[in-house]
Structure formats: structure tokens, C-alpha cells
Chain A
Amino acid sequence: MKKNISRRLFLKGGAAAACTLAASSISSAASKADMHEQIATLIDISKCIGCEACVEACCEVNSEKYPKPQKPFPKMYPKRVPVADWSDKQDVTNRLTPYNWLFIQSATVEKDGEEIELTIPRRCMHCVNPPCVKLCPWGAAKQLENGISRIDSDICLGGSKCKAVCPWKIPERQTGVGIYLDILPSLAGNGVMYKCDRCYDRIAAGKVPACIEACPENVQTIGTKNEIIKQAHKLARETNGYIYGEKENGGTNTIYVSPVPFKELNKAIEKGKGKPHFKPVKNVMAAASNLGTAMLIAPVAGAIAAAGKFYSMVKAEKGDASNET
């Protein structure tokens, strides 16, 4: 297993990448013992030629996980509940859909006075502390110990909260599939949410994600988070590049390195439904973490307040008593 992943990485990432990634980091992607370290990918935008080999590979490898909705869909109440049906548009590849977890975004930008065309693979960022997972009110979205976040299509109800709280609005809904059909299909739930699961099953089997394996240009490198960040900084230093994903939303496991600033990239790409931005993103879970810490101290404050009240009462009583005598 280990051999497989490291050999591939060696072949793909070129000697330099393979050396910096060395055995330790790659094996940890595959071995269970080291699962505590999150796996990350580096995406070198300057290398991508926009061939969409990765998009095809993703579709091929993951098509078994795609929704197979039952039609007609049960009527949903109230009327405003939107039906999201991609089953007749499964070949759409210019945005994220339940049937397309990776797409190529393009941008025409200026670099050193010259106009250049950049193509950028886009998918779930695999946040270090993923709000889609943490705020799922059921626990259908989960994060594996290697940092991969994925949505369990067996129990997802399709309420789309994961999408609402995702800074990039990544998960996409398909109506007419999932467990909601067995509960109260007209009153609660609306299908299942889908997104890149970082080929968790392949990784567990010691293979690299399909999109990484298929890319003829070695655009993506996979390894442990620390190694990938080091490598991204090195690449950015050497190419005067810019980094996205390291700090965004408190840190993600997808580190982009671009030859132009992300502010410019963000202006140049087509954004909108199923087409994520490249804006700065603050850590959306930070406030909850701070409030959570305060919550763990809260009982102590309460106990001290009551004890304080007790002692002032005892004191007052003593005072009363001494006044009386």
C-alpha cells in the first residue's frame, strides 16, 4: 500500500517533490497509525493546462457514489422548498454539481505586462476545522482523522445547511435520494448533499485521489499538511507566487500557489452558483471556539458568585447578631 502511493508520488511530483515529501509524509497518508496528521494537497496553478483529465477521472472513479434519484419526486411542502435536480444534467462540467465534484475555472490575467490564461481546478477545500461538518445538525457530514471531510449519503437529509455555512458554498444538492424519503418526505429534508470526498476510499486503500493520478502535468501534490505547506512556501518563494488556502477559514488542506495575486484571480474568474470565489475568508469557526472556551469556564464563575453571596450573607448575619447583643 505504502509503496503504491509513494511510487506514484515519486513519478508524479518529480524528484524535488518526492524528496521533500520523503517516505514519512507519504506513508502517513496511507498508514493508519499516523492518521492524526491531516493530509493536504498543493495545487500549482501555473502548471495546469485545463485539459480536464482530472474532472473526467473524478467522474469515472466516483460515479458509483453519484445520486440515483427516484422520480417523480415526492411533493414537498411548503411550496417554496426548491427542487434541485441534476439527474438530467449529469454531463455539466463547468461548475460544481452533485455529479461533478471538480471543475476547471479559467481566468485571463496580466502577468509582467503580458496577458496570460490560467486554469484552476476547483473543489472542496477540505478545511482544517470544516463548518460543513461541525455544524451539520445530524452528523451526516463527517471529518476523518486524516482531515478529509465527507458527507454520508446514507444519512444526509439534504437540508443544505452545510452549503449555507461553507465559506465557498461547495456542497450541491440532489432531490429525490436519501433517507428523507423514508421519513417525512413532504415535510422534512430534500435529498442529499454531494461534494468532493477526497477519494477517501482510495486513500484508505493506499492510492492517491483520482484527479491527482490522472493529471498529466502534476498540478497537484499530496502529503501531510506540514510538508505541503513547506512545499507551497518554497514554490511561492521560487516563483514569486501567491498562496491561498493556508490561512483562509483558519486553514484548509488545499493550498493553491498562483503566479498572480488571488485578488486579481478572484476578479477574473466567473463566480456564482457552483463556482466558488477566491476571496479572503476569515475563520468562521473562531467565534464558536472562543465562546466554547468561555462556556467551559462558565460554571466556575457561577459557583464563585454564589459563594460570594453566601459569605456576604454570613457576614451580614454576624453583623446583625453583634448589633443585637
Chain B
Amino acid sequence: MKHNKFHIGYELITGYIYRITIFMLTLSGFAQMPIFKRYYIADMPGLGWLSKFYVTLYLHYLFGIIFLVFTACIITDFFLTLRKKYKITASGYIRVAILAGLTASGIILVIKNFAGYYYAPVFIVVMNLIHLGLVFIFLITGFTCIILKKNWMRDWTTL
């Protein structure tokens, strides 16, 4: 009993953290491209920061950190406990794979930004395109899953 309550609360909180983090990563990520000013979005009250490249860069990093802490936590948790009770669904695997690609390309872009790191220019262009491409794929997949009410994990007991 106690455990169930704990788990429901836990899932609710992780769900919220996850959605907010992804939302902020997407918003600050798109702000890396010079589009919010051109299209008046940064003119809306309270959204001026969207055209400040350093602010949005730090935010993307910050939510990247939150995302990584959170993801590592969930993955560890999955192997230690959740695995016994839940099974990852097919749509769950697809989303995990896309996020893994986003994270990997994102981290390469972060490493690129350290002083003294040179990559072949073509490689950087490809990484940027992969990162951006995966964002679109993830958003489409994510919304499809929400509409079709597909969950990440399924309770073994309901199988």
C-alpha cells in the first residue's frame, strides 16, 4: 500500500519534471537559431530573453544538466527496481532511442564549445543537423504518443 502511494507520487513528479525539462530544452534550443527576434516572438511581454543568445545558451545547458541528472536517475532506477514491475513499450524504446541520439549529439556540441576543441567543420554541420532533425522527430513522435495515449512503460501485471 505504502509503496503504491509512493510510486504514484513519484511517477507524477517525474512526469512533470520530464515535461518541463523537455519543453525548456526545446524552447532554449530553438532560441539558438536567430528566429525568435525575426518572428516577433521575443517582442511579446516576458519573452525578450528568447533573443538573448547567451541567456538561452545557459538555459539550454542548465536544462541539459537537469535532463541528464534526471535521465541517469530513471535509468538506474529502472535497472534496480522498476524493471521488476514494468516493461518498456515499443513506443517507449523508440523515444528512448531518439533521446539517446539527441543527448549524444548535444554532448558533442557541448564538447565542441570548450576552448581548444577543433572538429572537422563538416562534422559540426552534420551534428547540428542531426541534433535539430532529432528534435523534430522527437516532437512528432512525442505528440503522436500523447494522442494515441501510448505510455513509456507498461505494468507487467496488466499483461
Q: Which B residues are within 8 Å of any A CB, using their own CB?
A: 32-35, 38-40, 53-54, 57-58, 61-62, 64-65, 68-77, 80-81, 107, 110-116, 118, 121-122, 124-125, 127-128
Indicate if the CB atoms of B65 and A295 lie closer than 8 Å: yes
Indicate if the CB atoms of A302 and B71 lie closer than 8 Å: yes
Known: A295-B64, A301-B72. 16 other contacts (CB 8 A): A128-B115, A129-B113, A129-B115, A129-B116, A137-B32, A138-B125, A139-B122, A152-B121, A159-B34, A164-B34, A165-B54, A285-B115, A288-B58, A306-B76, A306-B80, A307-B80
A144 to B124, CA, bound (A): 13
Indicate if the CB atoms of A295 and B110 lie closer than 8 Å: yes
Could you say which residues of chain A place their CB within 8 Å of the CB of B33?
137, 159, 161
Could you say which residues of chain A place their CB within 8 Å of the CB of B57?
135, 288
Q: Which A residues are within 8 Å of any B CB, using their own CB?
A: 78, 80-81, 128-129, 134-135, 137-140, 142-145, 152, 155, 159-161, 164-165, 188, 250, 284-285, 287-289, 291-292, 294-296, 298-303, 305-307, 309-310, 313
- Chain B residue nearest to A161 (CB atoms) is B34
A213 to B128, CA, bound (A): 38
- Chain A residue nearest to B103 (CB atoms) is A299
Indicate if the CB atoms of A78 and B115 lie closer than 8 Å: no
Interchain residue pairs with CB less than 8 A apart (11): A135-B53, A137-B33, A137-B128, A139-B122, A143-B118, A161-B33, A287-B54, A292-B114, A294-B65, A298-B64, A302-B76
Query: Given contacts A164-B53, A298-B72, A302-B76, are A310 and B115 in contact (CB under 8 A)?
Result: no
Could you say which residues of chain A place their CB within 8 Å of the CB of B58?
287-288, 291
Could you say which residues of chain B place their CB within 8 Å of the CB of A161?
33-34, 53
Indicate if the CB atoms of A302 and B70 lie closer than 8 Å: yes
Query: Given contacts A78-B40, A295-B110, A298-B69, are A139 and B125 in contact (CB under 8 A)?
Result: yes
Could you say which residues of chain A place their CB within 8 Å of the CB of B72?
298-303, 306
List the 8 shortest-distance A-B pairs measured between CB atoms, nearest first.
A302-B72, A306-B76, A139-B124, A129-B115, A299-B72, A159-B34, A298-B68, A291-B61
- Chain A residue nearest to B125 (CB atoms) is A139
A253 to B108, CA, bound (A): 25
Query: Given contacts A152-B121, A295-B107, are A80 and B38 in contact (CB under 8 A)?
Result: yes
Indicate if the CB atoms of A302 and B40 lie closer than 8 Å: no
Indicate if the CB atoms of A302 and B113 lie closer than 8 Å: no
Which one, A134, A137, A188, A299, contacts B71 given CB within 8 A? A299
Indicate if the CB atoms of A78 and B39 lie closer than 8 Å: yes
Could you say which residues of chain A place their CB within 8 Å of the CB of B54?
165, 284, 287
Indicate if the CB atoms of B77 and A309 lie closer than 8 Å: yes
Rounded to whole Å, the gap between the CB of B34 and the closest CB of chain A is: 4
A294 to B66, CA, bound (A): 10
Could you say which residues of chain B place their CB within 8 Å of the CB of A188?
35
A210 to B128, CA, bound (A): 34
Indicate if the CB atoms of A289 and B118 lie closer than 8 Å: no
A145 to B117, CA, bound (A): 9
Query: Given contacts A160-B34, A298-B72, are A310 and B116 in contact (CB under 8 A)?
Result: no
Could you say which residues of chain B place their CB within 8 Å of the CB of A288?
57-58, 61, 113
A145 to B121, CA, bound (A): 11
